[in-house]
Chains A and B, each alone.
Chain A
Amino acid sequence: MFHRGLLFLFGLFLLSCTPRFSPTDSTFYSYVRENIHTLDPIHTHDLFSHQMSAQVYEALYHFHYLKRPLQIEPLLASELPTISKDGRTYTIPLKKNIYFHEHAAFANPQKRLFVAEDFIYSIKRLADPKSRSESYWVVENKIEGLDEWRALKAQGLVDESTPISGLRALTPHTLQIRLKRPNYQFLQNLTMAATSVVPREVVEHEGPQFGNKAVGTGAFKLQQWIRGSQLIFVKNHRYNTLVYPQEGTDEDQREGHLEDAGKKLPLVDRLVIYEIPEPQPQWLLFLKGDLDVLQPHKDHQDHFIQSGKLRPEAAKKGYVLELPASADVAYIGLNTENPFLKLKKVRQAFSMVFDRSFSVEKFYNFLATPAHGPIPPGLEGYEAHRQSIATHYNLDLARKTLAEAGFPGGEGLPEFNYEMPSSHPVARQMSEFFKNQLALIGVKVRLNANTWPQFNDKVKKKKADIFDQAWNADYPDPENFFQLFYSKNISPGPNASNFNNPRFDSLYEKSLRLPSGPERRAVYGEMETLIMDECPWIFNVHRQRPLIKQPWLKNHKFEVMIADTMKYYSIQSEQRAQLKKERL
């Protein structure tokens, strides 16, 4: 009897372990591979926290989900801004009848209308030194009176009620922003998470807990967040900011991304996002059908991808491969303040000895394109044919150039420190490769593995000679890459190679004064050519991030700069239930 009881209990246990998917379960299951720190949009400086926060919070503008190249369209704003002739005043009409999610802190917990003052409060909160936001740079030195307000706030001389000349609510649904000087990237800034609108009552009510209790105007409401494990969002039934886009590219037409055109958003009822730092459980859950999408770890890519294409056996199971470009550049930075690395010919020789094709094949499994300049494909001003002799592998020329610099066969050069941002085996292999390449021209390199904080410290304090790094676009404008070479941004600013070139600086400043168009593109071209020749970086690759999708996931189109994507996804629940049954 006792044994039967045990067997019965074990049977019950097994049954409870078997995942159940109802044919009507319209839930999107996904994961993030790093733990989420916070959902507070002024602190979501890492990719995954930013993605989660964007399901709940909305900014005034965002990028059209389907159109490429990326196009800005209104989100909480009802139209694109009217910009004054001097390029400094933005008048922005806002959508009416947009409500925040329910919260007890509101006077009417069910109905709290979004108004222009909410945006002004959100920007002041971003600027408040007490907020310690990592994203203040988004509005820093741009809005009239804001930096001054911040300085006074630090001294306790002003508060949130003190007006700022550059931020005005003309009516409850009309906003006016006045800039210090014309800035044609400012509209891009208004798409960024840090400028998302948060409700003051909830911020004050929740205090330090606000980062856990997301309350915005977005398509999803946070239902539960178990830190270190999972987040669950539910559909915001009152969501009326957007409907599914009615226009897209030809590719969208072919892939059925326009079948839901004009439908009310969001299309799924729930989001379940697991926090899974280890690759094995990500992979196993995906194979079981418990995740709808997978970004396979390098160790698991071979199960799905061969030479940049989906394996036939994976295709037979219905998996779909998506290969979005990342709008990034991986590079090896050279500290141009180092007495030897400040010599252009030394930098050029280092760049010429770096074999990008080898890197693409061996380290990226063909899922990357060789980089010859900072602008990634897909951004305004990118031209594949714009290349320099200094960014091509040429061992003989590298030897000759180094000799011309006064260091034949590397004689007279010290051993350089190469800083790795981690001790991960792949980072180590890539560094070893670079070290071996430089050894071919007689240059010695010592490899140093660091934790990320140590690495960041060395780079920001100019202690790193050579360092391995990558830059992901904050917004889709080459300016975001070119600022990394502007002399006023040297370390601890974002110009980590401490590059200082007056000609480049003047071109950069000129580009800031130009609206998007042929003239600005020409300036961008000139700047990129200069950088390719000067080689403050050794350009490595522009990465692609392969994604494997389940066949029942529809409308999934990944673009790293669009974070509010999940409201567009749809799930074919019956197909999922059927296929999962077959796979078990």
Chain B
Amino acid sequence: MISFLFRRLVNAFFVFLGVTLLTFGIFYGVSGDPVLLFAGKNASPETVLQLRQEMGLDQPLFSQYVTYTTNAFTGNWGTSWASHQQVSQMILQSVGATLSLTIPAYGFTLLLSLALALWAVAKNSWFDRALCFVCSLLMSFSFLVFIIYGQKILAFDWSLFPVYGWNPSWTDRWIYLALPCLIYTMANVAPKILLFRSVFKNEIQQDYVRTAYAKGLSPSAVYWKHILKNAALPIVTVVTSQIPSLVTGSLLLEAYFGIPGIGGLLLKAIQGSDLPVIQALTVLGSLLFIAFNVLNDILSMMFDARLEWP
């Protein structure tokens, strides 16, 4: 197990190095000269030159990459070029808002999709067919449609929720998060239901299920003790692979409902060529993806008896 973990961590290191190289390359390839952007519209050539030195962008590209990678590894993300704020502080300020949207929304979506998928498989009747139809319908709309109509109808026309706003208090923010969470669920529940349904359908046809019924177990015991346990692996894989995106946020929901989260922070940074912020968020995102991939491998080993530690 230890040698497996060691190998995965070494791989992760090189993946991470690749991410930094790619981010750095893309930034310099397509983002334009940040000095010209931050120097302002009336800057003189002397000011541009001075600013280039101040920002360390007069150094050779390789030397800039070394500084960039060193900062990425040491967590020294410096200050934002646009807002002149500490990048780590900007992330800390935003991550709470994002997680308070994505964790409940994702949790609710997961529970709902598991429950409905299980129910549909268990009933195997008109409900299953109706659910498949509704899911296909929901999947045919873009996320933006859910947001625009959700906000217009539920918040504006029916006044069930606030149209927009945010309260940093942990007790009062939920009023503003209820509708975004609901929209998130509506937009994301359908593919999960269909996925889990097919996983459960696959398991229900296995020999061990027939054997369990033959032994005289009740349907609920068969579902809870056997089917769910065996279906856990693909479910865990889906969940762990999506956790990093909970941290990186939901850009559209944040923009439409005024949630000061990570998604908006990243968008602003990309639009404004704010390298320190882009660097920090890319590093954070890739670290999370790498960590959860490793976790996924470990959990797969634990849940699937057919797999052995190499």
A228 with B264: CB separation less than 8 A: yes
Tell me the smallest distance from the CB of B154 to a CB of chain A, in Å: 10
Query: Does B73 touch A at the CB level, under 8 Å?
Result: no
Of A85-93, A275-283, A502-510, A551-559, the stretch lying at the interface with chain B is A275-283
User: Binary interface profile of B, 242-258, with partner A (CB < 8 Å = 1, else 0)?
Assistant: 00000000000011111
A406–B114 alpha-carbon span in the complex (Å): 73
A455–B166 alpha-carbon span in the complex (Å): 34
B156 with A284: CB separation less than 8 A: yes
Nearest A-chain residue to B31, judged by Cβ: A453
B51 with A132: CB separation less than 8 A: yes
Of B86-94, B182-190, B192-200, the stretch lying at the interface with chain A is B86-94
User: Binary interface profile of B, 157-190, with partner A (CB < 8 Å = 1, else 0)?
Assistant: 0011111111010000001001000000000000
Of B33-41, B100-108, B135-143, B212-220, the stretch lying at the interface with chain A is B33-41
Residues of A close to B259: CB separation below 8 A: 228-229
Q: Number of contacts between A and B (CB, 8 Å)?
A: 162
Residues of A close to B55: CB separation below 8 A: 132
The listed residue (A17, A38, A452) touching B84 by CB distance below 8 A is A38
Tell me the smallest distance from the CB of A210 to a CB of chain B, in Å: 8
A492 with B48: CB separation less than 8 A: yes
Tell me the smallest distance from the CB of A386 to a CB of chain B, in Å: 26
User: Binary interface profile of A, 105-148, with partner B (CB < 8 Å = 1, else 0)?
Assistant: 00000000000000000000000011010111100110000000
Query: Does B32 touch A at the CB level, under 8 Å?
Result: yes
A13 with B178: CB separation less than 8 A: yes
User: Binary interface profile of B, 29-67, with partner A (CB < 8 Å = 1, else 0)?
Assistant: 011111011111111110110110111000000000000
User: Provided the pairs A154-B50, A493-B45 are in contact, do residues A456 and B37 lie with their beta carbons within 8 angstroms?
Assistant: yes
Query: Does B152 touch A at the CB level, under 8 Å?
Result: yes
Q: State which residues 266-310 of B face A: CB under 8 Å.
A: 268, 270-273
The listed residue (A18, A129, A226, A457) touching B32 by CB distance below 8 A is A457
A212 with B85: CB separation less than 8 A: yes
Query: Does A412 touch B at the CB level, under 8 Å?
Result: no
A545–B166 alpha-carbon span in the complex (Å): 28
Tell me the smallest distance from the CB of B269 to a CB of chain A, in Å: 11
User: Provided the pairs A38-B84, A208-B86, A281-B258 are in contact, do residues A453 and B37 lie with their beta carbons within 8 angstroms?
Assistant: yes
Tell me the smallest distance from the CB of A328 to a CB of chain B, in Å: 13
The listed residue (B32, B47, B156, B166) touching A456 by CB distance below 8 A is B32
User: Provided the pairs A17-B159, A280-B256, A493-B45 are in contact, do residues A227 and B93 lie with their beta carbons within 8 angstroms?
Assistant: yes
B42 with A137: CB separation less than 8 A: yes
A130 with B54: CB separation less than 8 A: yes
Nearest A-chain residue to B45, judged by Cβ: A492
User: Binary interface profile of A, 211-245, with partner B (CB < 8 Å = 1, else 0)?
Assistant: 11000000000000011111000000000000000
Query: Does A460 touch B at the CB level, under 8 Å?
Result: yes
B44 with A17: CB separation less than 8 A: no
Tell me the smallest distance from the CB of A154 to a CB of chain B, in Å: 6
B152 with A474: CB separation less than 8 A: no
B83 with A132: CB separation less than 8 A: no
Query: Does B155 touch A at the CB level, under 8 Å?
Result: yes
A37 with B83: CB separation less than 8 A: yes
The listed residue (B47, B90, B94) touching A137 by CB distance below 8 A is B47
The listed residue (A230, A287, A461) touching B258 by CB distance below 8 A is A230
Query: Does B131 touch A at the CB level, under 8 Å?
Result: no
A228 with B94: CB separation less than 8 A: yes
B161 with A17: CB separation less than 8 A: yes
Most buried by A among B83, B93, B152, B175: B83
Residues of A close to B32: CB separation below 8 A: 451, 453-458
B260 with A277: CB separation less than 8 A: no
User: Binary interface profile of A, 1-28, with partner B (CB < 8 Å = 1, else 0)?
Assistant: 0000000000001101111000000000
Query: Does B151 touch A at the CB level, under 8 Å?
Result: yes
Tell me the smallest distance from the CB of A509 to a CB of chain B, in Å: 16
Residues of B close to A285: CB separation below 8 A: 163-164
B156 with A288: CB separation less than 8 A: yes
A288 with B31: CB separation less than 8 A: no
B260 with A37: CB separation less than 8 A: no
B54 with A230: CB separation less than 8 A: no
A490–B43 alpha-carbon span in the complex (Å): 11
Query: Does A43 touch B at the CB level, under 8 Å?
Result: yes
A274 with B164: CB separation less than 8 A: yes
The listed residue (B51, B162, B257, B268) touching A19 by CB distance below 8 A is B162
Nearest B-chain residue to A19, judged by Cβ: B162
A212–B84 alpha-carbon span in the complex (Å): 10
Residues of B close to A308: CB separation below 8 A: none
A453 with B260: CB separation less than 8 A: no
The listed residue (B50, B94, B162) touching A129 by CB distance below 8 A is B50
Tell me the smallest distance from the CB of B305 to a CB of chain A, in Å: 41
Query: Does B79 touch A at the CB level, under 8 Å?
Result: yes
Query: Does A290 touch B at the CB level, under 8 Å?
Result: yes
Query: Does A157 touch B at the CB level, under 8 Å?
Result: no
A18–B265 alpha-carbon span in the complex (Å): 29
A19–B162 alpha-carbon span in the complex (Å): 8
Residues of B close to A275: CB separation below 8 A: 258
A275–B164 alpha-carbon span in the complex (Å): 10
Given contacts A38-B83, A137-B47, A451-B270, 6 further A-B contacts (CB under 8 A): A40-B84, A136-B40, A229-B165, A451-B271, A453-B272, A461-B33
Question: 5 shortest A-B CB distances, which residue pairs?
Answer: A457-B32, A134-B40, A228-B260, A453-B32, A137-B42
A interface with B by C-beta (< 8 Å): 13-14, 16-19, 35, 37-38, 40, 43, 45, 129-130, 132, 134-137, 140-141, 154, 208-209, 211-212, 226-230, 274-278, 280-281, 284-285, 287-288, 290, 451-458, 460-461, 474, 483, 492-494, 584
A-B contact pairs, 29 of them (CB 8 A): A14-B160, A17-B159, A17-B160, A40-B84, A43-B84, A129-B50, A130-B54, A132-B54, A134-B43, A137-B42, A137-B43, A209-B86, A226-B260, A227-B93, A228-B259, A229-B165, A274-B165, A274-B258, A277-B264, A278-B255, A281-B164, A284-B152, A285-B164, A287-B156, A290-B163, A453-B271, A460-B33, A493-B44, A584-B159
